[in-house]
Homo-oligomer: A and B are copies of this chain.
Amino acid sequence: MARVYNFNAGPAVLPLEVLQEAQSELLDFKGSGMSILESSHRGKEYDQVHTEAVANYRQLLGCSDDYAVLFVAGGASMQFAMAPLNLLGPGQVADYINSGAWASKALKEAAHIGKVHVAADCSQEIPTRVPALNELKLTPGAAYVHLTSNETISGAQWKTFPLTDAPLVADMSSDILSRPFDLNQFGLIYAGAQKNLGPSGIALVVIRKDLAERAPASLPAILRYQTFIEENSLYNTPPCFSIYLMMLVSRWILKKGLSTLHRQNREKAALIYALLDGGGFYKGTARPECRSDMNITFRLPSEALEETFVKEASKAGLKGLKGHRSVSGIRASIYNAFPLEGVQTLAAFMKEFERKNG
């Protein structure tokens, strides 16, 4: 089997050993005579998976007893709605920091639900960036402040999170557990799993428990964080197989070590950023001070060259380098599970491509 180098932005590359373990026990989970896909969500096999998943993510994120770790069907887009539905009461305002396409989507969905104030907006700027801390115009008494820790499309990433009076809410879909951070600074974080944690269709949600009590009584049970807290994400049948995969990934992160992964992520990204700074051929899209370690975005001298670049890279086994359809250009998504050798191969390809076309 020839595995390619998969630069997809999400669904994205998973650790090979996770896939191998899932494959090996797909027909018979731990001698139970059935697949984990077929196991009851109330049975002991799945119970162990679920319990370990919760425990591992609690450990990885440094959760105190004040926080709950939840698994919620749907991705970040569902959280774009659930966060304001639960936390933004009538007459209140939520501050949204607009750093790009994903922050805009979160903001737009929240504006369906309640009153939203844009605390900063650099979503249209190129080079792309996230706002500086001193640009934020926060509302006194806001219900919460929302930010997007890493803009998957623009390739801009927060390096230091703001300290806010109101609870800080973050969409961490594309960089969760790629680096350590202080959870206690946040009231709520959520992440679609399909970048650093597992398959698409599920989100990891971590919430300070007292915030879940804010939800209005009229909110349907299935949309209430409180329901998930009270039932340990087992109010209804959860996406069991997705949580199983997330559990396997959490084990892999624990084994690697979060600090080690962080160092490796920075080293991987630096290999490509060095090339973007090395001459005029490749031009980074994000401002240097907020370059993402997860999604590296850059342009070539022409769209025609970009097209050739993507095609030739694909032939060389470097897949998924085409930038998002809304912005074009090149994007190399190199999440936790993306191997160093793949980045080295891309770097070599880029040098050769520049030599031939520069």
Which of A's residues lie within 8 Å of B, judged by CB?
1-4, 6, 8-14, 16, 19-20, 22-23, 26-28, 32-35, 37-43, 73-78, 80-81, 85, 108-109, 112-113, 192, 194, 199-202, 218-223, 235-242, 245, 317, 319-320, 325
Contact = CB atoms under 8 A, between A and B. Distances in A.
Contacts of A317: 33
Given A2-B33, A33-B319, A40-B320, A220 B109 contact: yes
Contact of A219 (B22, B75, B112, B201): B112
Contact of A11 (B3, B32, B39, B319): B39
Chain A binding surface, main DSSP class: loop
Contacts of A85: 220
Given A32-B4, A37-B11, A194 B27 contact: no
Contacts of A43: 8, 320
Given A1-B27, A73-B78, A192-B237, A38 B22 contact: no
A182 to B, nearest CB: 28
B222 A73 contact: no
Nearest to A26: B23
A38 B14 CA distance: 7
A299 to B, nearest CB: 20
A239 B237 contact: no
Given A77-B236, A112-B219, A192-B237, 8 more contacts: A10-B40, A37-B245, A73-B74, A109-B221, A200-B237, A200-B238, A201-B238, A202-B239
Given A3-B27, A4-B33, A33-B317, A218 B112 contact: yes
Given A13-B38, A240-B11, A220 B81 contact: yes
B245 A242 contact: no
B12 A38 contact: yes
Contacts of A76: 236
B239 A201 contact: yes
Contacts of A2: 28, 33
Contacts of A223: 81
Contact of A77 (B77, B222, B239): B222
B112 A220 contact: yes
Nearest to A236: B77
A16 B27 CA distance: 8
A199 B6 contact: no
Contact of A14 (B35, B108, B112, B202): B35
A81 B184 CA distance: 32
